[in-house]
Amino acid sequence: MDALVPILPSAIQSVYNSAMKSALTIAGFDPSGGAGIQADLKIFGALDIYGLSVAAALTAQNSKGVSAVRAVESSFVQRQLTVLLPDMKPDAMKTGMLYSKANVEVVVNMIKKYRLRNIVVDPVLLSSSGKLLAEKGAEKVMRKKLLPLATVITPNIHEASVLAGMVIRTFDDMKRAAVILHDLGTANVVITGGHLEKGAVDIIYNGVFTFLKGRKISGEFHGTGCRFSAVIAARLADGCGVVEAVQQAKTYVRQSMKQTFSTGKGMRLFNV
């Protein structure tokens, strides 16, 4: 029998020769592989960042939508982090679906305890199919305790409305919400405009506005927001500046939207 020859793509070989950077995702488990932990790990891998992952929630879902959700017990989220972090310190991290108030509290405490940096918060509240991905009141704990620790937050229009406590209908509303969220202590607020009727301009606000123009791509996609924040975390892990990381994330997601496919009966899926 022929000897087994390991086949490594050149990108992977090059990573073995360099100091490996790592990023942590604290997020929800998605059996369809389209969002949450699964999406984040694919993105980290595609960008040559070693992925660490802590499960904060479980979902039952397919390409048509989320059928059920469960929070992982907050004491067990804490256990995952207290075992992992003294051993492996990530160069950046992101949070996705945390679901419970108690899980948000644990993440806040762990960020402080282990002095984590390059923190990207994707304040996941609702799935694109309309299922609640956070319990009632979780948004309040996020606003009060998690957002002030974030290097970058990446709400969509709906999440920004809930967190800023205002209705967003226009581009000017988006800008006002970004200022409100920045005043909570978040260093860089990124509001993605894809859900606004007129277009796909994203806003970055860190005391100064940067606008990232885009054109809407029609279709239903699963995991767009997760990918956007995961690319930002991966680029921050690599030492990239925030505005550049966000610009690269927008370009990355836009490019990969053109390469989505359908295996299920519902939304289109990304490979990476």
Minimum Å distance from CB 161 to ligand PXL? 16
Contact mark string toward ligand PXL, 97..116, x via CB under 6 A = x-------------------
Supply the minimum distance, in Å, between the C-beta of residue 249 and ligand PXL: 15
- CA–CA gap between residue 98 and residue 118 (Å, rounded): 18
Please state the separation of Cα 59 from the chain's center in Å: 16
Strands 209-212 and 202-205: what pairing?
Answer: antiparallel
Q: Which stretch binds ligand PXL (CB under 6 A): 43-51, 219-227, 235-243, 245-253?
A: 219-227
Q: Name the 3-class secondary structure at 20.
A: coil
Element (H, E) at 126: none
**Most distant CA atoms of the chain, gap in Å:** 68
Contact predicate 96/26, CB 8 Å: yes
Nearest Cα neighbor of 67 from 31, 18, 26, 13 is 31
Query: Which residues ranging from 231 to 260 are in contact with ligand PXL (CB under 6 A)?
Result: none
Are 181 and 266 within 8 A, CB to CB? no
Q: Is 123 in the site for ligand PXL (CB under 6 A)?
A: no
Q: CA 84, CA 116: separation in Å to the nearest integer?
A: 13
Tell me, by CB under 6 A, how many residues bind ligand PXL: 16
Among 51, 90, 225, 266, binds ligand PXL (CB under 6 A): 225
Stretch that binds ligand PXL, among 8-16, 81-89, 150-158, 222-230 (CB under 6 A): 222-230
Q: Which of 52, 93, 124, 146 binds ligand PXL (CB under 6 A)?
A: 124
Report the 10 Å Cβ neighbour count for 168. 25
Residues of this chain, 11-50, that bind ligand PXL according to CB under 6 A: 27-28, 30, 35-36
Of the candidate residues 160, 226, 230, 269, the single one contacting ligand PXL (CB under 6 A): 226
Residues making contact with ligand PXL (CB under 6 A): 27-28, 30, 35-36, 59, 61, 66, 96-97, 124, 127, 133, 223, 225-226
